[in-house]
Structure 1
Amino acid sequence: MPILDRPLRNSKFTLDSSGVAGFFGGEEAISAMATVHLFKGRQWLGWYNSPGSYTIAKRFGQLAASRFWDGLFPGPNETPEISFGLDGRPGPKYIASLSGTEMQTGHLGYLTMEKAKEVKGLMQIEGRETAPSNVALLELKDVKYDDKVPQRDLGNALVALIPVLISFAACIMCAIVADWFSCSMILLGIVSNGVACLVIGSGELSLDTVKKPAPGAPPGDGMLIGDDTVIVVRGAEKDVNAITKGKFVLTIGGGPTYDRIGLCSLLLLVQFMLQLLLIPQGSLFGQIMFLGTLGVSWVYNSYLSSLEKERIQAKVLFKKLGKPDMRKFRLGTRTTMTVFACLLVCDGMESPYGGIDPEKILRNFIPNNTQVWRRWRTKVIQQMKEEKSSPTSLIHLEVDQDDRSHLEGGDIQLLTTLLNDAKFAFVGYHKHFVSP
């Protein structure tokens, strides 16, 4: 006998929610599951009846690598890092200042570039504007590789208590009215999602890279070059390697077959099948309770999905890097940006530029090889040499008689404009980095 009379017991209306239980909210559930390694304690807060069990099972079941699991969950056996969105993004090109080495960075280079876009306190360098771009200066400290990547605080994850409490309350209400079909299916959903979060969330996130460069290796200073943003990176080789050659590594027990993840995915698949069969046998009240738990859980999963996983990853990365300072400058033309970036790369180097080739840096941004551009590069480099002794004089950034004798009127006007752009870069550099 039920403790309470079952509400809506005489209703002839039938609510068959089993058909959508395994598919509804699947993408949001996957996005929510992918945050389990980024928040402290998140793996302990998965005890709620989540929608999308079939979608989650098919997605993460592909991590399990054996003939049995490959047959049950066909698809590529991706690494845990790629499955959870911790790897796979191509990063910007990196050019080392001293060696001139060029390489394509990976996911951490991409996150660094995304972090630069969020830097507040943008400093404007005066000058004309045609194609505004940004230059950021990132100074890396001593990066520690001897422990795991720190996670974000639990604050956002604590919102999970809402679907957890509602799922348990709905389960108890169904038990009170003796709707055991609905009660058992809600409980199965709680258990299967909780176990999946616990097993998947048990993995440890760490940062891996070339930790010990060759003895005598020069500083790792260089530039990350994006579409409209350049990041000048300063630091020891081992520290810069964290961004240029590093990657997140997610270590989950049971690898490389990951049988425990396979079992969790199988449990989610069984949950989907049983809900498909048994929820229609429940009462209208129980079906409403079941659907209500799915709705609340979907809202929570959508909330986690809206937190921008890559933005959280960037914050986690910079916390691991020791929260280095990043200053950002906005420049009005590509010419001004090129000179300003070159000045930052050479800043602090002993003459002549500590082995850095300024012309090569300038050509990386502006490879044009016309007579105007060749003269422009020559004058900028001469001015950089003068900067060491007389930083307030811009004598070399003027059109001289030799220029007038070799260039036509239109070219002289263009050279004058380009040299004025360079002047703004020198003035801005002197204001922010040279003046006391």
Structure 2
Amino acid sequence: MGKHFRRLARSAKVDIVYDNGSESGTASRSQTVHIDPTLLFEHEGWSKGPAFKGIFSGTSIYATGPLASQLIKKATKEDCRKVDGRTTQPVNVTVAILEQVDSLRQQMTFNHRSPPLAIIPIVASLTTCLTCGLYHQWYAFSMILVGILARGFACLLIGSGNLVFDHPKPAEGSPPGDGVLGSEQDFVLLKGNEYVVNAVTRGRFFFRFRSKYACCMVEWCSILLIVQAIAQLVFIPQSKLFGQLMFVVSLAFSWAYDLWFSSFDKGEVQEAIFQQVLGKPSLIKFVFPNRVSAVVFLLLVSNDNPRTSGNPRKLKKIMDIFLPSNSEVWEIWKDTITERLKNRQALQFSDTHWNREELPLEDDRKLLKTLFGDAKDAEKAYAIFKSHDAGTIA
């Protein structure tokens, strides 16, 4: 535990906050200390999210925040609609419609009370410590007392901080924040304004301490915890059997509480924080039989925003990211699809679209026809998405 606190001390950053005076009109400075909670709580709830590619903003983020990770987990559990078509490797696509909730702020503070059972190891430690004192078991008495003080100071330090969620505010007039989260076989399309999307992709958690001495306090806590562990190894064997028994009883209660607390369902806390920031976003999931249909569907859903005019350059850039092939057939197909999206035309094609003079090889024409068929399958899925109908696409 002492090593964890030493890592916390090294991650601490001192920031200067300016508060505007309401009466004098002057600004006063105050120092706060920010500490990264991922160094203390090493569980999946604080893991980073996947990469993000903005469709209209051009944003590219290689590692997103913990809310993105939580959203991905929700998407994996969502019921899906199956899309029929040319089968290669299935790709999951979830459309997350993000609405701005009233509780969303640029900086939010979360407070959670300690569970009532936390009193049990405290009472057990105090009882065994007093019992050792009454029976003159001073080695065990001193070691239990040092443990109470060391862990007590550590808990007071962490309890004095606030868990804060922070995300940047976009500039006025920013384009829609639509973008794609995910990996090779799992995509989550975020639809919403830039402010809400930033909360998912760039939001971060940290502990904030108002005291500028928090860095020193964390360092001293780490030293005290390390000294406590070493002293117990030295002095407890010198105590008599009764003192050793009292120490083991105190330790057993602490271990039992730590075991119970580690098994506590942290998902409820994570879900509560998620809902305060994002509410309950609507998730609609499809399983596409191939990557081409999945990417075209992403562009179709993004292109229905009235604020966008189907910029072919940006749409083709997204195509190049997720479909990196740049052969002549693929370039013809990409240019045709982006032009249709720009003009908001249906993805319906005939022989003249793939029997091109610039493609003398029959295999190239067959490939282009196949790609146009994949785009048509994506348009069928888009029609179901618009109507919010469930089922399998025929």
TM over 0.5: yes
Letter in 1 for 2:52: Y
Instruction: Identify the residue that residue 266 of structure 1 maps to in structure 2.
Output: 223
Structure 1 counterpart SS, 2:381? helix
Q: Does structure 2 conserve the Cα–Cα contact (< 8 Å) formed by 1:208 and 1:247?
A: yes
Check whether the contact 1:343–1:429 (CA below 8 A) recurs between aligned residues: yes
Q: Which residue identity does 1:363 align to in structure 2?
A: D
Secondary structure (helix, strand or coil) at the match of 2:156 reads helix
Structure 1 CA distance, aligned partners of 2:13 and 2:332? 61
SS of the residue 1:367 aligns to: coil
Aligned to 1:40: none
Determine if contact 2:94/2:283 at 8 Å carries over to the other structure.
Answer: yes
Matches within 5 A, 1:346-425: 346-349=303-306, 352-353=309-310, 357-381=314-338, 384=341, 388=344, 395-396=348-349, 398-400=350-352, 402-403=354-355, 406-425=359-378
For structure 1, which runs of at least 5 residues remain unmatched after alignment? 1-29, 31-53, 67-76
2:99 paired with 1:141 = yes
1:209–1:241 Cα contact (<8 Å) kept: yes
The aligned counterpart of 1:45 is none
Change (3 A) 1:133 1:354: same
Counterparts in 2 of 1:336 and 1:187: CA distance versus 1, 3 Å: same
The separation in 2 between residues aligned to 1:376 and 1:384, in whole angstroms, is: 12
Q: Quick one: which amino acid aligns to residue 430 of structure 1?
A: A
**C-alpha spacing 1:369/1:355, structure 2 compared with 1 (3 Å):** closer
Residue 242 of structure 1: CA displacement? 2.2
- Aligned with residue 191 of structure 1, among 149, 152, 158: 149
Q: Distance in 1 between matches of 2:96 and 2:388?
A: 20
Alpha carbons of 1:331 and 1:298: their partners in 2 closer, same or farther (altered >3 Å)?
Answer: farther
- Percentage of pairs with the same residue: 31
Q: Between 159-168 and 358-367, report the one with greater CA deviation.
A: 159-168
Matched, 1:237 2:197: no
CA offset at residue 145 of structure 1?
Answer: 2.2
Match of 1:254 among 203, 207, 211: 211
| TM-superposition CA deviations, 1:250-273 (whole Å, max 9, x none) | 212333662222332333244334
Higher-strand-fraction structure? 2
Deviations 1:387-417 (A, max 9, x none): x576xxx522x55475265353333443343
User: What is the match of residue 98 of structure 1?
Assistant: 56
Cα distance in structure 1, aligned partners of 2:106 and 2:39: 25
CA distance in 1, matches of 2:158, 2:304: 46
Of 337-346 and 201-210, more deviation after overlay is shown by: 201-210
Question: Offset of 1:196 from its aligned partner?
Answer: 0.7
Q: Give CA-to-partner distance per residue, 1:134-193, whole Å, 9 cap, x none.
A: 222233333632663335676xx4454454454345445545655343234223312321
Superposition CA RMSD, Å: 3.9
* Cα 1:214–1:65 shift into 2, 3 Å: closer
How far the C-alpha of 1:344 sits from its partner, in A, is 1.8
Q: Secondary structure at the match of 1:149?
A: strand
Kept in 2: contact 1:133–1:333 (CA 8 A): yes
**TM-score, with normalisation over the residues of structure 2?**
0.75
- Change in Cα spacing, 1:361 to 1:277, as seen in structure 2 (3 Å) is closer
Paired with 1:385 and 1:57, the residues of 2 have a C-alpha distance of 55
Q: Counterpart in 1 of 2:89?
A: 131
How far the C-alpha of 1:240 sits from its partner, in A, is: 2.2
Say how many residue pairs are matched.
364
Aligned pair 1:150/2:107, yes or no? no
Match of 1:224 in 2: 181
Task: Tell me, yes or no, if the aligned pair for 2:129 and 2:144 is still in contact at 8 Å.
Answer: yes
Contact 2:107-2:166 within 8 A present in 1 as well = no
- Contact 1:232-1:341 within 8 A present in 2 as well: yes
The match for 2:281 is 324
Match of 1:204 among 162, 177, 187: 162
Unaligned runs of 5+ in 2: 15-32, 390-394
Quote how far apart the aligned CAs of 1:372 are: 2.4
Distance 1:374 1:272 in 2: 65
Structure 2 distance, partners of 1:202, 1:268, is 18
The CA deviation string for residues 307-343 of structure 1, in whole angstroms up to 9 with x for no partner, is: 6979965763453233433333332321121111111
